[in-house]
Structure 1
Amino acid sequence: MGETPKTALHRFLTEATWGADKINERRLEVMSKSNQTRISRGFSLIVDDSGHRKSGNFTAGVGRQYIGEIGKTDNGNVVVTTHLYDGKKSLPLDIELYQHGNSLPKGKKDPEFKKKPELAITLIDKSLNRGYKPGIVLIDSGYGNNTSFLNELEKRKLSYLGGLAKNRKVKVVNSTTFTEEIRLDKLAESLPKEAFTESKINLEKPRTVWVAVILVEISRLEGQRKIAIVMNNSTFQDAEDIDYFITNVDPSIVTPQWIVNTYSQRNWVEIFYREVKGWLGLKEYQVRSKRSLKRHFILVFCAYTFILWHKLTGGLRRRWANKPLNTFPEALEAFRTAMSFRFVSWLNQNQHVFAAYKASCGFIWA
C-alpha cells in the first residue's frame, strides 16, 4: 500500500532533502517582487518570543520554562522570532527554536545552547544582511533589560524602543532632586502628577494612559537615553498597570505620544501569534528534531504569507468577496470559499474519480 497523506507529510518534514532557510529566503523574495507587498525602508522590526505547551521530553527544546500564552512556567517549547510591521502589513521574517538548557545533553554548557538575546541578534543580522533597513527595533523587557543586547543593537546603528524592569536603576540627568541612582518604580512614585501627559493608545480596545518622559543615564550604556513611564492612571498610587521603556532615538523626537504610538505596534506580533496558532497550526506538530520543527514553522510562515500576499494584491477581494478583507481571518475565509467552490466544481465533473478514490479507502460514494 502507498503512503497515507499523514505519513507522507511526516516524511516530508523529517527526511526529505530541502532546506527551511532557503524556502524562507524564497518566501521573502516573492514578497519583494510586488509593489503592494514589497518590504520598504523604515519599518518596525519587532523581536519577540512565544511559547506553547508540549508534553514529554523527547522533542527538541522542550523544558520547563515560561510560556507566554498561559502566563506561567510549564513544560513546553519557545521560539524567538523577528517580525515586520510597516503600517500596511504585518509579516513574519525569521524564526529560531530556543533550546532550553535542560533539553541539551550538557545543559547551558552545551555548544548548541544560546540565550534568547543571542538568537535575536542572529535573526536581526539576517534581516540586515538582506539589505532591510528597519526604522526602529521594538522589544519587550526580556530584551530591553539586557544591556549587552542593547549595545549590540547600537553597534549595528539601530534605533530601538524597549521595555525595562521596574527595578532597573537610572540616574536622572540635570536633576537636583534625584542626584543618585534610583529604581524606576521609585522614580515613578516620586514624580508629581504634572510630570505625566495624558495620551491615547489606539489598539483593538483604545485606552488612555499617562506618560512621563525623562532623560537619564544607565550603567554600561554610554551617553544618555530617554526613558518613559507609562501608567493606566494619572497617579502612581492609583495605577494598576505601570510599564517602563527605554529608547536611543533622538530625544527631540521622543514625546509621550510617540512612545505609545510606536510601542503599540508590537501588538501586531501578538495578533500574528494568535492567528498562526489558532488558524494555521503553528504549535500542532508530530515531529521531534530541531530541523523538523524549523521546517514546520517555516511552512506555517509560507501559508500565512500566501494568504497575506493574495489579500494585499487584491485577488481574493476581487473574485471571492463582496466586502473589504481587513483581517487575516477574513482573507483566509475568502480563500477557503475559493477552494470550496473549485472543489465542488471539479467534483461535479469527476464524480467517478472521487468515487474510485473513496473505494480505494474502503468507502462507498454513491
Structure 2
Amino acid sequence: MTARLPCPAAAGPLEGYAVHFDELFRSLAQRRGFREYLTGLLGPRDRNKTLTCLAGAEPVEGAQHAAVQRLQYFLSESTWDSEQVNSRRLELLVGDPATAPHDRGVLVIDDSGDRKDGTGTAHVGRQWLGRYGKTDNGIVTVTTVWADERVYYPLHAQPYTPASHFPRKRVDPGFRTKLQIAADLVAKARTAGVVCRAVVADCFYGDHDDLRAELRHGGWGFVMALKPARGTWQYGAEAYTPKDAAKAVPWNGPDDPGRWSPVQRRFRDGHTETWWATDAQLGWWGPDGHTRLVVATTDPATLPDKATWYLATNLPRPGGPHDTPDRLHEPADLTEVVRLYGIRHWIEQSYKQVKDELGWADFQVRSDTAIRRHQTLVHCAFSFCWDTWFDDQPTQSTNNSPEPAPPADPGERGARNTTTTVLAQGAT
C-alpha cells in the first residue's frame, strides 16, 4: 500500500483554495505560478517532481521550455514573500473548525534530512541524515507539526545551516543550532494562534535542558523523550540513567505490578496494545517534582529498547503537590502522558507524504530564498488536501480518537523506511 494524500488535485477545488492567497502576489503571473506549482506538486508521482515534471515537460531536454522557465522565475526571481504565504496558510487552518488547534493536541518538534550533492547550494553540508541513517552530504530542515489523533499538518520549517558555512564556524554570530531554531519555531506557532496540550519531541531535543527550560519559561507544557542512558549526577559507569530509574520500580508481573499501571493504547489500524507506565525517580525528577520522569513500556521486566519510552514532562501528577488551583497546566495521569507522546508519530507519516508524494526534496534550486519558497509551496499543497477532504467529511470529536499506527521503523532518525502507509483519513 502506498502513502497517498486524501484527495487529488482538481482544478475547481484548487482554484477555490488558491484565491485565498491572491492578495499576497503582485501580478497575474505570480498568481498563475502559484496555481501551476501546486497543480504540479499534487499530480501523480511518475518521476521526481523537478521543475520539468511540475510543468509537464520532458526531463533535461525540456529545461528551456517556456512553462519550465516561468516556474523557475516564479520560484527563484519573482518578488513574493514565503513567510506571508505560510502565515495565510496557517490563518486558514486555525480559522477552520475542522483543523483548528485545540488544547488536547500536540505541537511536534523534529527535523528531517535529505541528500543533496555539491557545495554551492544553501544549507547543504556533510551532516547526519536520519532518513538514511548515516552522515552524508545533504540538507536538514527543522520542522514543527500540529497534530491530534485525527488530523496533522506542518506549521513552520527552517533549514539548518551547518557551521561550515560560517567564517567563524559554531562561534559565528549568525550560526544557529537546531535547538535554537526549534525554540524560534515554537514561538512562531504561538504567534500564529496555535494552542496545544504539550510540545512533544524525540530524544534529540528532549535530552537538552536548555530547550526544556525555554519551553517551561514560555508557558508550554511538554512531553519529551530521553535517551535510556542519559546520565545524571555522575559520569561514566557511575551515572544513574532513566533506564536505571525504571529498573528500580518494583515489578512482579501483571498480577502484581507494583507501581506500574496498565495503559491501553488503541491504534488507527484497529489493534490495541497494553503498555505499562510509571512515575520513576531520577535525581530531582520524580512524581512530585517540577519535572516528572514517566516510563512507558510493553514489558517492565525487560524494558525492550524499541518498545520503551523514557519521557520528561512538566505536566503535574493528579493529586500531587503541583496540582494546585493556580497551576499553569492541567494535571496529566500516566494514560494522558502516553497518549500525548503517541501522537508524535504522525510527523513520521507527514514526512512520507511530503517527501514520497509532494516532492519535498526534489527541488533543483540553490538559493535560500528558492528553497524556502519550495518548502512553503509543498506545505500549501499538503494543507489543500485537508481543505478538500474536509469539504466532504463531518467534523469529528477527537476525545475518543485512536492513536496513529506505530511506525515500522524509527523513522527519520533511523534507517530509511521503504514501507509506506496510507493516511488514515484517506484510506479505503
Q: TM-score range by the shorter chain?
A: 0.7 to 0.9
SS state of the match for residue 182, structure 1? coil
Please say if residues 90 and 192 of structure 2, whose CA atoms lie closer than 8 Å, have aligned partners that are also in contact.
Answer: no
Query: 1:229 is matched with which residue?
Result: 295
Q: 1:266 aligns with which of 325, 333, 344?
A: 344
Q: 1:245 aligns with which of 277, 300, 311?
A: 311
Alpha-carbon spacing, 1:237–1:311, altered in 2? closer, same or farther (3 Å):
closer
1:197 aligns with 2:261: yes
Name the CA distance, whole Å, in 1 between partners of 2:311 and 2:101.
27
User: What is the letter of the counterpart of residue 311 of structure 2?
Assistant: F
Please say if residues 229 and 244 of structure 1, whose CA atoms lie closer than 8 Å, have aligned partners that are also in contact.
Answer: yes
1:141 aligns with 2:209: no
User: What is the letter of the counterpart of residue 249 of structure 2?
Assistant: L
Q: Which runs of 5+ in 1 are unaligned?
A: 172-179, 317-326, 334-366
Report the Cα offset of residue 32 of structure 1. Answer: 3.4
Q: How does 1:157-172 map to 2 (within 5 A)?
A: 157-169=219-231
Name the CA distance, whole Å, in 1 between partners of 2:226 and 2:208.
9
1:69 aligns with 2:140: no
SS state of the match for residue 350, structure 2? helix
Paired residues, number: 314
Please say if residues 216 and 227 of structure 1, whose CA atoms lie closer than 8 Å, have aligned partners that are also in contact.
Answer: yes
Name the CA distance, whole Å, in 1 between partners of 2:380 and 2:181.
21
Alpha-carbon spacing, 1:212–1:330, altered in 2? closer, same or farther (3 Å):
closer
SS state of the match for residue 97, structure 2? coil
Report the Cα offset of residue 19 of structure 1. Answer: 0.7
Name the CA distance, whole Å, in 1 between partners of 2:153 and 2:87.
13
Report the Cα offset of residue 242 of structure 1. Answer: 3.2
Query: 1:353 is matched with which residue?
Result: none
Please say if residues 200 and 260 of structure 1, whose CA atoms lie closer than 8 Å, have aligned partners that are also in contact.
Answer: no
Please say if residues 54 and 76 of structure 1, whose CA atoms lie closer than 8 Å, have aligned partners that are also in contact.
Answer: yes
SS state of the match for residue 16, structure 1? coil
Query: 2:381 is matched with which residue?
Result: 303
SS state of the match for residue 18, structure 1? coil
User: What is the letter of the counterpart of residue 263 of structure 1?
Assistant: Y
Name the CA distance, whole Å, in 2 between partners of 1:78 and 1:163.
21
Q: 1:255 aligns with which of 316, 333, 343?
A: 333
Bigger shift: residues 63-72 or 139-148: 63-72
Alpha-carbon spacing, 1:86–1:198, altered in 2? closer, same or farther (3 Å):
closer
User: What is the letter of the counterpart of residue 64 of structure 1?
Assistant: R
User: What is the letter of the counterpart of residue 190 of structure 1?
Assistant: A
Report the Cα offset of residue 237 of structure 1. Answer: 6.6
Please say if residues 94 and 193 of structure 2, whose CA atoms lie closer than 8 Å, have aligned partners that are also in contact.
Answer: no
Q: Which runs of 5+ in 2 are unaligned?
A: 1-63, 252-257, 319-330, 395-421
Report the Cα offset of residue 305 of structure 1. Answer: 0.5
Please say if residues 37 and 313 of structure 1, whose CA atoms lie closer than 8 Å, have aligned partners that are also in contact.
Answer: no
Report the Cα offset of residue 239 of structure 1. Answer: 6.0
Please say if residues 217 and 224 of structure 1, whose CA atoms lie closer than 8 Å, have aligned partners that are also in contact.
Answer: no
Is the radius of gyration larger for structure 1 or structure 2? 1
Name the CA distance, whole Å, in 2 between partners of 1:198 and 1:329.
26
Please say if residues 215 and 225 of structure 1, whose CA atoms lie closer than 8 Å, have aligned partners that are also in contact.
Answer: no
Query: 1:213 is matched with which residue?
Result: 279
SS state of the match for residue 345, structure 2? helix
Name the structure where strand makes up a greater proportion of residues.
Answer: 1
Alpha-carbon spacing, 1:315–1:136, altered in 2? closer, same or farther (3 Å):
closer
Report the Cα offset of residue 332 of structure 1. Answer: 11
Query: 1:34 is matched with which residue?
Result: 96
SS state of the match for residue 344, structure 2? helix
Name the CA distance, whole Å, in 1 between partners of 2:304 and 2:385.
44
Bigger shift: residues 297-306 or 68-77: 68-77
Please say if residues 43 and 84 of structure 1, whose CA atoms lie closer than 8 Å, have aligned partners that are also in contact.
Answer: yes
Query: 2:107 is matched with which residue?
Result: 45
Please say if residues 290 and 316 of structure 2, whose CA atoms lie closer than 8 Å, have aligned partners that are also in contact.
Answer: no
Alpha-carbon spacing, 1:35–1:312, altered in 2? closer, same or farther (3 Å):
same
Query: 2:215 is matched with which residue?
Result: 153
Query: 2:39 is matched with which residue?
Result: none
1:187 aligns with 2:245: yes
Query: 1:281 is matched with which residue?
Result: 359
1:123 aligns with 2:189: no
1:8 aligns with 2:79: no
Question: Between the two proteins, what is the percent identity of the paired residues?
Answer: 28
User: What is the letter of the counterpart of residue 248 of structure 2?
Assistant: S
- TM (normalized to structure 2)? 0.66
Bigger shift: residues 236-245 or 19-28: 236-245
Name the CA distance, whole Å, in 2 between partners of 1:283 and 1:102.
21
Q: Deviations over 1:241-297 (max 9, x none)?
A: 433110000111443322321111001111111111011001110011111111000
Name the CA distance, whole Å, in 1 between partners of 2:424 and 2:336.
30
Report the Cα offset of residue 240 of structure 1. Answer: 5.7
Please say if residues 297 and 308 of structure 2, whose CA atoms lie closer than 8 Å, have aligned partners that are also in contact.
Answer: yes
Alpha-carbon spacing, 1:311–1:145, altered in 2? closer, same or farther (3 Å):
same
Please say if residues 307 and 331 of structure 1, whose CA atoms lie closer than 8 Å, have aligned partners that are also in contact.
Answer: no
Q: 1:102 aligns with which of 140, 149, 164?
A: 164
SS state of the match for residue 124, structure 1? helix
